[in-house]
Amino acid sequence: MAFRPLHKAINHVPTLLENAQNQLKDFPKAAQQTLNGIAQRMPSHLLHSASVVAPRIFSKPLSRITNANVWPYITGSRLKPAFRLFLDMADDMSMLNIYRIDRLIGEKELNGRLDIKEKDLTLLASIPDPHLVYSAFDINRYASPENVEMITQLFTYGKRITRYRGMTVTWDQSVDSDVWTFNIDTANLLRHIFEDGVGGRTDIRRFVELGVGGGSMIGTFAKTLPNATDLRGTDISPYALMCTRRNVEPYLRASQSLSLFLGKGLMPFANHADMIVSNPPYIPHMKKPDATDPYRGTGLIKEIVESGTNCLNPDNPNASIYVCMSSLSLKDFHSYLHHTPHVRAHMLGEEIEVPLKIFSVNENDPWLSWLISVHGLVDSRERLASTGFRYWHKLSAWKITPR
């Protein structure tokens, strides 16, 4: 299994080096890690031929390089031991247990299949009906004073292992720069999709996720869907793709392949999907549409509504798209739906109310005021006193199908 990407990589040495080179300017650390990953996994005679090919490729003007933003053979990042924080969320999200890991998890296990057992753990706090994965307020409320200090320290290290619906993912702030790992919106979308009966579906062969982040969702579906052999994910962050490869690859069955692509929005690789999932950026932006970037704010949601169903497998009547939405994006979402009569959308289950805790928004007063007046962000000083959080919105899960 571990060698399948290598076989692909060997055939695509020029493409790999070309793409890594293209990313060096914007993502130097990720590009370097990819090149190191390729070098480590490549037999020496191929490494030699790669180094012969490299100067030729690197001397090409960038304008002549095609396919520049597609990076399908990205390697997984690697973690070093020292993980002590373990979070375990109940399937119905009624409880979040926070544990200290009492044994050293070695490098091989950390970068492979993780099997965390109860005997290796000390329970530090149980948080009922969590509103966030990390809430200092809830930790103070439900943990003993000694444990509050320990939990706070463990979160400060920026390394955590999270388990939800049987899928365990790792996240290390110092390796997984800018990666959106398992969060309350991830759990909420997964919960609604499974409550919609997806777990037992045998018709899903090609599964596509737009914006994989740390790989929690694509990993959960890889483990759960019995016939999902062709798993495809995309993100605009190479660190996210590397984190996803690290987290998901160890769990793939022999019949499964995982292809990861660096790029924005729907791409041709999404075609003929039996299921598309996305937890897209859902905070509307004040400057919309941004002249240079159509994906600012709710741009990805717009693209999914307008073109997503064209990517579904026409031979599968159950092919569908699942997306996460915030109450803040509903106005835009409904307007996109209104202009797209060929699709229908319905909300799954109930919304959940959660605090808005996104640094770039919470620190930006004009943006906050605009979200309050135009998009219904709730500003509550009473809640600040009773919960520690002043700004609230609602998360929901939606299913989109062709009409």
Residues that bind ligand SAM (CB under 6 A): 180, 182-183, 186, 210-214, 216-217, 234-237, 240, 264-265, 279-281, 295, 300
Residue number with CB closer to ligand SAM (239 or 391): 239
Residue number with CB closer to ligand SAM (42 or 79): 79
Cα–Cα distance measured from residue 5 to residue 76, given in angstroms and rounded to the nearest whole number: 10
Spell out the residues 6+ positions from residue 234 whose beta carbon is closer than 8 angstroms to its own.
Answer: 208, 209, 210, 211, 212, 260, 261, 262, 263, 267, 269, 270
One-character DSSP codes across 233-265: EEES-HHHHHHHHHHHGGG--TT-EEEEEESSS
CB of 328 to ligand SAM, least distance (A): 13
For 196, the token pair is 């919609």
CB of 247 to ligand SAM, least distance (A): 11
Residue number with CB closer to ligand SAM (42 or 323): 323
CB of 301 to ligand SAM, least distance (A): 10
CB of 363 to ligand SAM, least distance (A): 18
Largest Cα span, the chain: 67
**Residue from 335, 339, 323, 330 nearest 284 by CA:** 330
Q: What is the 3-state secondary structure (H, E, C) of 355-395?
A: ECCCHHHHCCHHHHHHHHHHHCCEECHHHHHHHCCCEEEEE
CB of 222 to ligand SAM, least distance (A): 13
CB of 59 to ligand SAM, least distance (A): 31
Residue number with CB closer to ligand SAM (214 or 308): 214
Residue number with CB closer to ligand SAM (37 or 280): 280
CB of 27 to ligand SAM, least distance (A): 12
Cα–Cα distance measured from residue 343 to residue 249, given in angstroms and rounded to the nearest whole number: 34
Contact 362, 392 (CB under 8 A): no
CB of 303 to ligand SAM, least distance (A): 7
Residue number with CB closer to ligand SAM (50 or 332): 332
Contact 303, 321 (CB under 8 A): no
Amino acid sitting at position 94: S
Residue number with CB closer to ligand SAM (125 or 208): 208
Residue number with CB closer to ligand SAM (17 or 325): 325
Cα–Cα distance measured from residue 139 to residue 382, given in angstroms and rounded to the nearest whole number: 19
71 has which bridge partners? none
CB of 356 to ligand SAM, least distance (A): 13
Cα–Cα distance measured from residue 394 to residue 326, given in angstroms and rounded to the nearest whole number: 6
Contact 105, 134 (CB under 8 A): no
Residue number with CB closer to ligand SAM (77 or 234): 234
Q: Roughly how many angstroms between the first and final C-alpha of the chain, as a whole number?
A: 40
CB of 50 to ligand SAM, least distance (A): 29
Cα–Cα distance measured from residue 156 to residue 321, given in angstroms and rounded to the nearest whole number: 36
Residue number with CB closer to ligand SAM (296 or 383): 296
For 54, the token pair is 């490299």
